[in-house]
């Protein structure tokens, strides 16, 4: 580009590529995309990521997953703004790689027995979800559909922030577990909710968020991406419709498998009985280590509670891609997105009801003596902790 334009200036490159949308500009974008995809962890450029996260200390893993791999996402988005090329083609390429990345990451995560390696593969999964939003946004640009483009890029940007929050919290709580037990082998863990109740609650909040379940922040960004796919189907032709169905099924499968994986992770690590006799007492980490984690959890909850506020904050960055002025910006005012607030409040109402029932049970239980024993093993006479 410097040879063609005589400058390394971004404006000069952008002007040149806008008037020369040919194979050269497409290849130029793809070279940049591959470089940034290595940094972000897209499949098949992900091979470094599952080894780097488990090897690093937990606080470094949190920064790596929450911040450093997002530099790759920033680079891809910056190249989309810089290099004016065939957005439809690059959109389909990014979309395909992203669905594959999401499915590959979550399926490999299910198979892991090391807690941090499990979380590392979920970083690949969530990079795939972010990429799905970017791919849809590019396809919307190529089709001159500002609603699809806006929702795609908005979902990608918000999920980038959301992933930085809940994945950091997951790595930090995994660090708490390692500090207390000196192991990350989930087969040796179990029953930690009794010893580390605050860490267990924080891990559960992040796990629900990463699974895209309301009322936490992961649901909001994934809901926006689903809306982008919905609006895409309204103008899609046969091949585009097949690609849209492929993306929807992929995103649904990713969400379902993520729920399966974190049900296993939380259940095995924190619930049940201890599976290993440790030579040292297991206890909760200090309050000074827990306070920053509660701050992260607050933002996870706050985004889920007030989604419209964060959608309004996305208007300016999204308008950079669509060239729609903020005054005339309409994509975030549809009935579908307006339903986000009631859904979040309804979910919080359900949580409040469950908490109220548990508190009532605890109060009533004080009036009588309750006997406790080992978990019933369905008449099996030799139960173990792994059962």
Contact call for residues 376 and 265 (beta carbons, < 8 A): no
Higher model confidence: residue 371 or residue 182? 182
pLDDT computed for residue 332 by the predictor:
62
Q: Which helix (H) or strand (E) holds 243?
A: helix 238-270
**For all residues of the chain together, what is the average pLDDT?**
87
Helices 23-40 and 87-110 pack at an angle, to 10 degrees, of: 20
Give the model confidence (pLDDT) of 199-229 as tens digits: 999 999 999 999 999 889 999 999 999 999 9
Q: In this predicted structure, which of 135-149, 168-182, 262-276, 316-330 has the lowest mean pLDDT?
A: 316-330
Token couple for 57: 């200390």
Residues 17-22, mean pLDDT to the nearest whole number = 76
User: For residue 343, what pLDDT band results from cuts at 50, 70 and 90?
Assistant: confident
pLDDT computed for residue 311 by the predictor:
85
Higher model confidence: residue 5 or residue 62? 62
Give the model confidence (pLDDT) of 43-70 as tens digits: 999 899 988 888 888 889 889 988 899 9
pLDDT at 106 over 70: yes
Give the C-alpha separation, 207 to 262, whole Å. Answer: 6
Percent of the chain with pLDDT over 70: 91
End-to-end Cα separation, the chain, in angstroms? 62
DSSP 225: H
pLDDT computed for residue 373 by the predictor:
66
pLDDT at 379 over 80: no
Give the model confidence (pLDDT) of 282-301 as tens digits: 899 999 999 999 999 999 99
Give the C-alpha separation, 353 to 88, whole Å. Answer: 47
Residues 334-357, mean pLDDT to the nearest whole number = 82
Percent of the chain with pLDDT over 90: 52
pLDDT computed for residue 327 by the predictor:
44
């Amino acid at each position: 580009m410097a040879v063609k334009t005589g400058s390394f200036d971004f404006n000069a490159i952008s002007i040149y590529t806008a008037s020369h949308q040919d194979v050269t500009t497409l290849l130029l974008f793809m070279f940049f995309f591959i470089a940034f995809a290595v940094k972000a962890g897209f499949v098949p450029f992900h091979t470094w990521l599952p080894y780097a996260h488990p090897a690093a200390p937990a606080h470094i893993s949190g920064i790596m997953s929450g911040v450093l791999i997002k530099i790759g996402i920033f680079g891809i988005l910056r190249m989309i703004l810089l290099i004016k090329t065939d957005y439809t083609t690059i959109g389909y390429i990014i979309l395909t790689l992203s669905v594959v990345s999401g499915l590959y990451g979550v399926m490999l995560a299910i198979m892991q027995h090391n807690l941090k390696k499990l979380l590392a593969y979920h970083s690949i999964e969530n990079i795939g979800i972010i990429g799905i939003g970017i791919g849809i946004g590019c396809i919307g640009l190529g089709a001159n559909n500002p609603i699809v483009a806006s929702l795609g890029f908005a979902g990608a940007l918000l999920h980038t922030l959301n992933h930085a929050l809940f994945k950091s919290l997951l790595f930090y709580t995994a660090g708490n577990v390692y500090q207390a037990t000196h192991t990350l082998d989930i087969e040796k863990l179990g029953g930690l909710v009794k010893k580390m109740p605050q860490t267990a609650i924080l891990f559960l909040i992040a796990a629900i968020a990463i699974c895209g379940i309301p009322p936490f922040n992961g649901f909001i960004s994934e809901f926006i991406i689903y809306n982008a796919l919905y609006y895409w189907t309204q103008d899609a032709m046969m091949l585009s419709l097949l690609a849209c169905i492929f993306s929807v099924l992929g995103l649904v499968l990713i969400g379902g498998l993520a729920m399966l994986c974190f049900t296993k992770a939380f259940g095995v690590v924190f619930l049940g009985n201890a599976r290993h006799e440790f030579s040292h007492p297991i206890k909760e980490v200090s309050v000074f280590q827990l306070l920053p984690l509660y701050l992260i959890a607050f933002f996870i909850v706050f985004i889920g509670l007030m989604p419209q506020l964060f959608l309004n904050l996305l208007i300016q960055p999204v308008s950079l891609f669509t060239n729609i002025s903020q005054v005339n910006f309409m994509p975030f005012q549809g009935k579908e997105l307006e339903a986000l607030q009631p859904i979040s409040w309804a979910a919080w109402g359900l949580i409040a009801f469950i908490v109220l029932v548990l508190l009532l049970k605890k109060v009533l239980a004080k009036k009588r003596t309750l006997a406790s024993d080992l978990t019933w093993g369905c008449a099996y006479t030799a139960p173990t902790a792994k059962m």
